[in-house]
A and B are shown apart, each in its own frame.
Chain A
Amino acid sequence: MSYFIVLTLTGIAAGMIYAALALALVLIWRATRIVNFAQGALAMTTTYIALAVIRATDSYWLGFAGALIAGLLLGALAERFLVRWVEKGPPLNAVILTLGLFLILEAVVPMIWGAQIRGFPAPFSIAATEVGGVFIALSPFNIFTIAVVLAVMGAMLLLFRFTSLGLRMRATAFAPDIARLLGVRVGRLLTLGWAIATLTGSIAGLLVAPTLLLYPNNMDAVLVYGFTAAVLGGLDSPVGALVGGLGIGLALSYVGGYLGGDLEAIGALVILIGILMVRPQGLFVHSAERRA
């Protein structure tokens, strides 16, 4: 029973990371109807940048900030100079374009930093703790992870619900032509949407690196989990991304704990196919409109 509780707690912590990546995918899907298959590679790149900053300055927090800034910039550049040109074309073209970005990032990063597996520092201990003689499976870093992802989710909620900028971004996603007629700078907001999404993804990269370690394709499996979480939540709903991420985190934690860690990725695939067969519109989307 205690093993079950340990798996549950670690599953929640991992699920928060998947939720962050799922949120990044959802933000881009809402804005541009593109599944960004480069999301994991972008997060891996910003994590390498964070490591370089940490090595140079000896400060984890400067590295953390560096990754976020790099995420903003990379996302904005990717949208403005690459994705902008395929947004109107067939959906297949946009997917192949993001795969091109994926390949370039996963090839260029080892050119610069080498392909070997690296450790990544954590600001808090990643060992499980004991509080007053009671063993708790969550490490301080797990708690930090959960807090950071909840803070990001809260910030997104505030941005989209209560600010004029968020309203304009929602209008852009919902009806770009009408928004443009009303004076919204649609192009700029799409760039901003990609920047915010990539920033969110870069947080997932930072949080996953201390336990998963850092190497050029360390985010491939996390991308699959994040995508599964996003589909579980309906691909369209930030709340769905959070719940989907937690669900996938728990499910994969049990799969890994009881059946073997090597089966986690294939477990995610089984879950994904199961969701698509039973409830293809996801758990959190009310309208059944999906023709893609």
Chain B
Amino acid sequence: MTLVERLGARGTLLTHAVLAVVFIALAGVAIYLLDSVNAFLVYQLSSVAYIAIAAAGLTVLTGLNGQLSLGHGALMAIGAYTTALLLKTYTDLNPAIVMVAAVLVTALGSIAVGAGAARLRGPYLAGATLGLAVGLPGVAVRFSGVFGGDAGLNVPALSSPDALSTVPQEVWMAWMWLIPAAITFVLLANLLRTRYGRDFRAIREDEVASALHGIRVARTQVVAFVLSGACAGLAGSLMAYTSSLAAPGSFPLTLSLELLAAIVIGGLGTLPGAVWGALVIVFAPDWIGTLHDVLKLPGPIRDQLPLALFGVVFIAAMLLFPYGIQGGLRRLWLLRAARRSQAASG
């Protein structure tokens, strides 16, 4: 019996919690060692943390519940502006409290967006959230007295405590972000093993059958959307701290589509996939920059190549792996098994 199996017998929560603590310890050491090699890389890892949190929320909604949101970038904006406005008034507020507030406000905003949630499904939810992504930055511009207009609001940087003043700022931030990321993933992983998680999946497969089994389809879909929105709010709060800014230009429609790209790349509906996808989203522009150094691509092509590639990934994933990467792998495996049994009998 392996250690993980023995823990599993004690309960899911404990297993996931232990795995999370191990992950935090290993990643923390890795970040510290990495900093002497490449400080900017550590800074980018902070971005990976919040993109992964937002992508995890989206993958629960889209991959497991079958609802598509094109507005998670806008929900991140709600979290970011909550953070900025709170810190404007209470400069020394504890980041944990700020983040909880950002999560709560964004969850409330998600309820408002999903007010017609019983009706907002399928293409309707996608269209409404598209409207959110396109429209919300305009609110920040219109009420510039509160939200700072196009320039946005500044957010004070997260500083390390005096006792650890030798720790570089970017390392401290990356360390700190491991905690909300780990908490989010542990909670989501546990949730997916409860009745709600099973209900999410049942509704994705067949709404009518789910309703016949006593699942309240509309209510469960609202829960999934609000939960997913709360993750986006947390991600937005971390993003505001990381970039020291909450501005409308940071939350374009393409941010929402990049989050969608992250979960499509990682495989719809898998939490580890959200992390892989976030790594790709954050580092793809760098890789293309490297490509640019080799191939001497003209500027406009280099700038636009990541988005074009994400578009190609969307199409390729849907044409080649219509049931996601996970489903594609399973099909390959079944194909091989079928061939093997054929060879055995023939």
Binding partners A and B: yes
Q: Is the CB of B257 within 8 A of A103?
A: yes
By a CB distance below 8 angstroms, the chain B residues around A105 are: 311
By a CB distance below 8 angstroms, the chain A residues around B131 are: 224, 227-228, 265-266, 268-269, 272
Smallest beta-carbon distance B158→chain A, Å: 31
The answer, among B70, B138, B208, B310, for a CB contact under 8 Å with A263, is: B138
The chain B residue with its CB closest to the CB of A100 is B314
By a CB distance below 8 angstroms, the chain B residues around A265 are: 131, 134-135, 138
The answer, among A37, A263, A276, for a CB contact under 8 Å with B126, is: A37
The chain A residue with its CB closest to the CB of B131 is A269
Q: Is the CB of A103 within 8 A of B311?
A: yes
By a CB distance below 8 angstroms, the chain B residues around A162 are: none
Interface string of B117-138 (1 = CB under 8 A from A): 0011111101110111011101
By a CB distance below 8 angstroms, the chain A residues around B66 are: 90, 92
Asked if A107 is an interface residue, CB under 8 A from chain B, the answer is: yes
Smallest beta-carbon distance A101→chain B, Å: 7
Kindly state the separation between the CA atoms of A91 and B142 in the bound complex, as whole angstroms: 36
By a CB distance below 8 angstroms, the chain B residues around A104 are: 308, 311-312, 315
The chain B residue with its CB closest to the CB of A265 is B135
The chain B residue with its CB closest to the CB of A113 is B300
Interface string of A211-233 (1 = CB under 8 A from B): 00000010011011001100100
Q: Is the CB of B62 within 8 A of A92?
A: yes
Q: Is the CB of A292 within 8 A of B123?
A: yes
Stretch at the interface among B45-53, B82-90, B239-247, B317-325: B317-325
By a CB distance below 8 angstroms, the chain B residues around A93 are: 318, 322
The chain A residue with its CB closest to the CB of B307 is A107
Stretch at the interface among A43-51, A81-89, A172-180: A81-89
Kindly state the separation between the CA atoms of A262 and B143 in the bound complex, as whole angstroms: 9
The chain B residue with its CB closest to the CB of A91 is B122
Asked if B116 is an interface residue, CB under 8 A from chain A, the answer is: yes
By a CB distance below 8 angstroms, the chain B residues around A111 are: 300-301, 304, 308
The answer, among A110, A267, A276, for a CB contact under 8 Å with B119, is: A276
Chain B interface, DSSP helix/strand/loop, else mixed: helix
Kindly state the separation between the CA atoms of A99 and B310 in the bound complex, as whole angstroms: 10
Q: Is the CB of A220 within 8 A of B253?
A: yes
Q: Is the CB of A262 within 8 A of B139?
A: yes
Interface string of B215-248 (1 = CB under 8 A from A): 0000000000000000000000000000000000
Asked if B113 is an interface residue, CB under 8 A from chain A, the answer is: yes
By a CB distance below 8 angstroms, the chain A residues around B136 are: 266
Kindly state the separation between the CA atoms of A268 and B120 in the bound complex, as whole angstroms: 15
The answer, among A86, A231, A263, A268, for a CB contact under 8 Å with B322, is: A86
Kindly state the separation between the CA atoms of A227 and B70 in the bound complex, as whole angstroms: 14
Minimum-distance CB pairs A-B, first 7: A100-B314, A103-B311, A265-B135, A266-B135, A269-B131, A104-B311, A107-B308
Known pairs A96-B318, A97-B318, A291-B208 / 19 extra A-B pairs, C-beta < 8 Å:
A35-B123, A90-B66, A90-B322, A93-B322, A94-B318, A100-B312, A100-B318, A104-B315, A106-B307, A107-B307, A263-B135, A263-B138, A265-B134, A265-B138, A266-B132, A266-B135, A269-B132, A276-B119, A292-B123
